[in-house]
Amino acid sequence: MKAVQFDFNIPQYVFSKVTGRLIPSIYWNSRLSCLRYHDQSEPELPNSNWVKIKVKYGGICGSDLNLLFLNDSPATSPFVSFPFTIGHEIVGEIETVGENVTGFQPGDRVAIDPILSCSVRGIEPACSACQKGNYSLCQYKTEGDLSPGLLIGTCRDTGGGWGSHIVAHKSQIFKLPEEVNDLNGVMIEPFSCALHSVLRNPPSEGDTVLVIGGGVIGISVIAAIRALELPCKIVALVKHEFQAQLASDYGADDIIMLRRQSYIEELASSIGGKVLKPVFGPEVIEGGADMIYECVGRKQSINDSLRFARNGGKVILLGLAGIMDGIDWTTVWLNELDVSGSFAYSTEEYKGNRVRTFEIAIDLIRNGKVDLAPMVTHRFPLEKYRDAIDTASNKKNRSAFKVVFEPNVDSLTS
């Protein structure tokens, strides 16, 4: 099968890191980069508790682009195994069912929870996090029956969404009802990231919520809050006009464009803050939002998340921030902010029960609380991976939101 893989090689890494600053396309459009498009064997079932899945859509995630642009922190490198097929946002159709898998059959459409936790790795007894259903916090990401990997799409044994087939453990697959089409299916993974952050950090009635970032996760946070019917004011800080439209479509009450000269005054006014001028340096905000979901992971967005929070407010970091200088942490202690991170998805308290995040996402879509399909703006056959990555990397010029691959469709039939 054809697949787009990432393989770490020091000379190629150094070449891409240096040259890519001047010519960004080097990261995906050069034989000297760490990216490879080539033939490989289809992944095999590790044991009888697994299924093989034919990929219908495989999404391009912001974290995938972070990987391609070599921006990931080295701290994540022990939790991958090279070479791996990229892609963890996956909807597909079951082809082969292991003997110990019940309730599924070939032809079933499924979404995939890509976390490679204890049950997936065959580890018994499971770690304390997995016993509580907090699979994203699994303590054994490098052990068990599989090579190291946080997720499908970072492990060399499982395949990934940027290839025609993957294998998944029976605990990772979620059957899709007829009401959930394939475009909604490929969006379940990123939407579950947003759901997890909101369900673990829900705004209270009457709160002012600031969502920083108009990408997939930022808009999904807005969609999650509205789908869960949490009564609060939502203010969105976005960069592009098409993001502003989506923020409005999914329920933001106020939308502030990230314009260099005017956004600070406009945003402060919207969230009930006051702009103060220090002796030098960036403006200081007095007052602000009760809760802030930071969905970008850049220096400016993190600084904004800290200074636009009210005294005693809460900041949730979803933007996969790595190593960066220039973050002013003064407001964290001065205003006694509660700052927490959010990663992936897990098991949540929902309607009085403990439920997997993916199941909640499917339930909300099936019941018409949210339609995620409009977020998918571009589809590419796998062989046009360079065009797909270029589109996903140039959102403003292409008005691109979610870009997905159709690995089992070639350019002649797409």
Sign, CA torsion 132/133/135/141: positive
pTM of the model: 0.96
**Mean pLDDT in runs of 10 for the chain (414 residues)?**
94 93 92 92 96 98 94 91 97 98 98 98 97 96 96 98 98 98 98 98 98 98 98 97 97 94 93 96 96 96 98 96 91 97 96 97 98 98 97 90 94 50
Cross-strand partners of 5: 36, 85
Contact partners, residue 285, CB within 8 Å, separation at least 6: 264, 268, 273, 274, 275, 276, 307, 308
The predicted pLDDT at position 74 comes to: 87
The predicted pLDDT at position 212 comes to: 98
Please choose, from the candidates 253, 179, 190, 247, the residue with its C-alpha nearest in 3D space to the C-alpha of residue 213: 247
Q: What kind and span of H or E run contains 65?
A: helix 62-68
Taking the C-alpha atoms of residue 401 and residue 280, their distance in angstroms, rounded to an integer, is 37
Report in angstroms the alpha-carbon separations of 4 from 7, 23, 29, 183. Answer: 10, 21, 12, 21
Which pLDDT tens digit goes with each residue over 182-198? 999 999 999 999 999 99
CA torsion 56→62→64→65, rounded to 10°?
A: 120
Surface-to-core class of residue 124, CB atoms within 10 Å of its CB (0-12 exposed, 13-18 middle, 19+ buried): exposed
Please choose, from the candidates 264, 265, 271, 259, the residue with its C-alpha nearest in 3D space to the C-alpha of residue 211: 271
Provide the phi-psi class of 400: left if phi over 0, else alpha when psi is between -120 and 50, else beta: beta
Surface-to-core class of residue 12, CB atoms within 10 Å of its CB (0-12 exposed, 13-18 middle, 19+ buried): middle
Taking the C-alpha atoms of residue 123 and residue 342, their distance in angstroms, rounded to an integer, is 25
